[in-house]
Amino acid sequence: MTSLPSQLEEDLLKLVSVGLLEQTEGCEDVYSNDMLVQTQSRGLCALEKAQAIYGRAWSDKGLVKNTCTASVILCATYLGDYEWSDEPCQKAAAVFLKDLVTAAGSPTLVRLLCGYSEVEESPDEVLFPRGIAREVFQLLKTRMNKENWKKEPASRQVLSWVLTQMEHPFVGEHLNLILPPALLLVDDYLSANKLLGVRCLQHLVNEVDATELRWYGRGEVIYQALEPLLHQQDAALMSELLPCIIGILAVIEHRKESGPREPNRYDKVFQVVLGNMEGEQKIALRREFAKFLSKFVAVLGIYVLCHMKRLMRVVVSYLEVSDGEEETSRLCILEALKSLITEAWPRIPAHSVGLTKVLLALLSEIDSSAESFTTPAQVNLMDKTEECLVLLRKCSPDMMQPTLEGIMDMPSVNDRLKKSLSKVLKHD
């Protein structure tokens, strides 16, 4: 049994060190069927063999200390739904990882990775009171450098998986090890790698104190890496990118307690987004932009007035065009319009006529083309449109009240539209 721990450590480190899918220059991220089958077979064999050894010698603390980090990396390599990991590999990895957490004396996976802070007292049975995350990131650092990270497709997935398991305040301790490979991913030409990098940066923004991100200009570096991606034409990427940019702007752009502010990067990003929305024809991208708009309007607050002309064009054009029976874009734009009316109410009366026309046209379309919508979409559209009309009436009652009353008295208006307008007029 004396040679067993060192042999296991050697086997696992060797298995992890080549990333299981080492590629030659020029064919990164391209896997042949034969290579995938071989990798799945080799991975499953390694997982089952390692788990069997742990099952026989789990009480050997030296074995656990020497092999736990490499074993966790091996498990993380096969846990996800990757090309090189089939269902048997995923199940074996999950079972082995559970055994590793138990053998290390940790109550949870998070504790195994992060350990305990200086103000916390770790239980006596815990073998890694400071966690193993640093050792994992140190091992990944050699594989995720600029020269060879493309040859290590598993390593980037391990980095993302380990990072997303960690929580505040432990993530900040490893920022210098995590940030460089995450930036490499963001800067890659493949959308899949960009997406993975953005997810890593989003987790950093969420789980690291803003003060730590501002140290040494780290927040600025993250923003500069993300800003060029606003011009990408990938809906999946945009859905992750826009919240991440909002988060990092909150870190690097300081709000004044009082007095006017100068135009800043919030305005720059918002102008780019509005420009993209105006010219975008792809439904998937229009939906992602629409989902994001309400949050950005709320973040800008009263300063959304600086973008009023262009924003109004976007709102009106998106409300006029259907994007399918679920009407995701329209529902999100109506939510953004509610935020806009709330935040920019002093200027709303100047736009109330145009907004009223497009909202009434939408109510009429909902009634006349009911078969084009799902029932939930129809109900939500009606409710949100009525809410927007209520807010418009409150912003400019002298104009909206008689206008809506006059429309109700028109003989061409059907009963359903009259019912909606009656609700708007009676709402306090």
pLDDT digit string (tens) for 239-289? 999 999 999 999 998 765 656 778 889 999 999 999 999 988 899 999 999
What CA–CA distances, in Å, run from 13 to 17, 83, 151?
6, 22, 17
Q: What does the pLDDT look like over 218-235, one tens digit per residue? A: 999 999 999 999 999 999
Q: Is the pLDDT of residue 148 over 60?
A: yes
**pLDDT given at position 30:** 58
pLDDT band at 194 (very low <50, low <70, confident <90, very high): very high
CA angle, 270 then 272 then 275, to 5°: 110
- CA-based end-to-end distance of the chain: 80
Nearest to 96 by CA among 77, 110, 115: 77
**18 pLDDT more than 60:** no
Q: What is the pLDDT of residues 37-74, one digit of tens each?
A: 777 888 888 888 788 877 776 677 887 888 888 889 88
Is the preceding peptide bond at 349 cis, omega within 30 degrees of 0? no
Q: Average pLDDT, whole number, for the chain?
A: 86
Rounded to the nearest angstrom, the gap between the alpha carbon of residue 181 and the centroid of all alpha carbons in its chain is 18
